[in-house]
């Protein structure tokens, strides 16, 4: 039976400030969809930062059943300043079947990076998700978030991802994410969900926030070059 509310497929682009958690959330989202039985392609669109991209963990993610578009560490090996490199397959990724999750690197151009993906601006399926960590100095205040979001370009939803790495506490998460949710209301942008480390599984009450909570596992610490 066809239900008009169910989208044909999931196409999400994760953008955000440097080190805001885009790659981590893109990976978790891709794996979540995989476990639901979908075919999923994860795309590395990081063209500024040579470290902390999906490259070193490409194989591991492929072993979990994801199609990963991006160069692996070995492909980039020996090339020195291997910052900006774009796998040609990334350009046509929306033509593939199945869900597509895009990890858009940081950079002054924000969401305009999606110009590099054919069909992105015309796509009705695409949702641009802005990831915000309230512990990052540039987005650590109402004004900071507003300024940042207004410079990003297209934003369809916000994902609240406040954390302090190994020093994260419940207080940090609550304070930060509540602030983000407030600003989102002010800007009239929906908050798709709040991302929280799995360690806090029993300790967060979603009703306190009014948005869905997703518990995530961290893969990126393995991804430093």
Nearer to another protein, 64 or 75 (CB): 75
Rg (C-alpha) for the chain, rounded Å, is 17
Q: How far is the CB of 86 from another protein (least distance, A)?
A: 4
CB–CB of 104/54 below 8 Å?
A: no
Q: How far is the CB of 18 from another protein (least distance, A)?
A: 7
Can you tell me the distance from the alpha carbon of 102 to that of 14, in angstroms, rounded to the nearest whole number?
6
Can you tell me the distance from the alpha carbon of 160 to that of 177, in angstroms, rounded to the nearest whole number?
6
CB–CB of 52/224 below 8 Å?
A: yes
Nearer to another protein, 134 or 193 (CB): 134
Nearer to another protein, 48 or 189 (CB): 48
Q: How far is the CB of 22 from another protein (least distance, A)?
A: 12
Can you tell me the distance from the alpha carbon of 30 to that of 40, in angstroms, rounded to the nearest whole number?
6
Buried b (16+ CB within 10 A) or exposed e, 116-139: ebeebeeeeebbbbbbbbbbbeeb
Nearer to another protein, 35 or 51 (CB): 51
Q: How far is the CB of 110 from another protein (least distance, A)?
A: 9
Q: What does the binding site for another protein look like in residue numbers (CB under 8 A)?
A: 18-19, 47-52, 71, 75, 79-86, 88, 90-91, 107-109, 112-113, 115-116, 118, 121, 133, 135-138, 140, 163-168, 172, 224-225
């Amino acid at each position: 039976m066809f239900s008009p509310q169910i989208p044909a497929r999931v196409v999400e682009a994760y953008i955000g400030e440097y080190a805001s958690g885009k790659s981590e959330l893109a990976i978790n989202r891709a794996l979540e969809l995989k476990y639901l039985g979908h075919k999923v392609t994860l795309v590395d669109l990081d063209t500024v930062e040579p470290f902390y991209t999906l490259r070193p963990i490409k194989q591991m993610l492929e072993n979990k059943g994801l199609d990963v578009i991006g160069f692996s560490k070995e492909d980039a090996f020996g090339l020195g300043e291997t910052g900006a490199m774009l796998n040609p397959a990334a350009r046509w990724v929306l033509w593939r079947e199945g869900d597509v999750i895009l990890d858009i690197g940081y950079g002054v151009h924000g969401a305009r990076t999606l110009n590099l993906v054919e069909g992105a601006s015309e796509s009705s399926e695409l949702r641009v998700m802005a990831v915000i960590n309230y512990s990052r100095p540039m987005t650590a205040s109402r004004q900071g978030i507003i300024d940042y979001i207004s410079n990003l370009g297209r934003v369809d939803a916000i994902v609240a991802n406040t954390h302090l790495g190994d020093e994260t506490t419940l207080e940090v998460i609550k304070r930060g994410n509540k602030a983000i949710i407030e600003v989102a209301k002010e800007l009239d942008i929906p908050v798709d969900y709040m991302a929280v480390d799995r360690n806090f599984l029993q300790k967060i009450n979603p009703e306190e926030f009014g948005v869905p909570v997703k518990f995530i596992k961290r893969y990126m610490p393995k991804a430093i070059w």
